[in-house]
Structure 1
Amino acid sequence: MAEPISADSSVKNLMTSLFKMVMTGDWGSIVNHYYEDWSCHTQKITRSGDTALHVAVADGLEDTVKNLLEAISSRVGAEKLKTILRMKNVEGNTPLHIAASMGSAAMCEEIAKHDLSLVGVKNSAGETPLFLAAQQGHKDAFLCLTEICGCQAGYQYCTRVSDGQTVLHSAISEQYFGE
């Protein structure tokens, strides 16, 4: 995992504190911070621009992700939650992109239920979470996201913008024939 990024002293203290809690796996304290201090929600804590939510998703911590989302929602409301869920790291990945690329249908559903349009958000490579799930051969996550966005919208989200490659091209090139 990357080192924390640099920032102003109060922001740096928060960032460093969150980073240390993430590195030691003290997710209970992070969830508590998320309930108490709304500025935690948008704090990027790694050089790659990940928030604690990004890291929890990447670590596959389904219950923690659910708790973080509840904490955010209780502090800032639905519209601000949507903005937070659209936060991207340096690769342009939202927490939903990470959940989809890992194949976690449960986390995909938990994140996307707060904003169905997240399924169509593109990262820096022009890939949607739906595309990433297919590219990685994660059938359950792909089907979950397809159900969330519907067939019509899903079709639009199945093509990588940068080169026009579709999920079918990707599945074949990765030899996910059974998927």
Structure 2
Amino acid sequence: MVDFVFGERTNNNEHDKKWPPLLQSVVEENGDELKFTLEAEDDMKNTPLHLAVSEENIKMCKKIGGAHPSTITKRNNAGETPLFIAALRGERKIFLWLHYLYMASPGVSSTDFAHCLRRDNDDTVLHCAIAHGHLGK
């Protein structure tokens, strides 16, 4: 089922990301099929939103995050949320959009948001930046 949802993505051009027709069209819809598709996971527990962030596809991030904000906090096998991945990769625009969409969700607090920026092992984005040498002296 996951292959049917995620399909084969091709990158002909860095800014031209191709998504499976099912995922592309379902983001425009509403209902149970939308929830099922946007919560689908690959073998690493990445959701379509994790993949959109990883591919730097802000348009798809906006659509998925706006259609189903709870996917913003889903963790993959590495304990990373899409917000964490955006921050870790320095994807400022994607991070800010996901932050905006998540914080606009009913019942969300700043404590909930802070939890999204930690891995399951309690490493924060700052820990990772230091470990990977992203902070200058």
Same fold (TM over 0.5): yes
Separation in structure 1 between the aligned mates of residue 27 and residue 66 of structure 2, nearest angstrom: 12
Q: Is 1:167 aligned to 2:125, yes or no?
A: yes
The answer to whether the 8 A contact 1:101-1:138 is kept is no
Instruction: Please list the CA deviations of residues 116-138 of structure 1 after superposition, one character each: whole Å capped at 9, or x if unmatched.
Output: 01000011111111111122222
Q: 1:104 to 1:175 in 2, by over 3 A?
A: farther
- How many residues matched? 127
Specify the SS of the correspondent of 1:44: helix
Provide the aligned C-alpha RMSD in A: 2.9
The 5-angstrom pairing of residues 1-179 of structure 1 reads 42=1, 44=3, 51-52=6-7, 55-56=8-9, 59=11, 61-62=16-17, 64-65=18-19, 68-69=22-23, 71-72=25-26, 77-150=30-103, 152=110, 153-161=112-120, 163-177=121-135
Give aligned-pair identity as a percent: 30
Kindly state the Cα deviation for residue 98 of structure 1 after the two structures are TM-superposed: 1.2
In structure 1, what residue type is equivalent to 2:95? F
Specify the SS of the correspondent of 2:51: helix
Larger Rg: 1
The answer to whether the 8 A contact 2:58-2:93 is kept is yes
Separation in structure 2 between the aligned mates of residue 159 and residue 44 of structure 1, nearest angstrom: 29
TM-score with structure 1 setting the length:
0.59
* Structure 1 unaligned spans of 5+: 1-41
Specify the SS of the correspondent of 1:88: coil
Q: 1:139 to 1:174 in 2, by over 3 A?
A: farther
Kindly state the Cα deviation for residue 73 of structure 1 after the two structures are TM-superposed: 5.6
Higher relative contact order (CA 8 A, sep 6+): 2
Q: 1:91 to 1:72 in 2, by over 3 A?
A: same
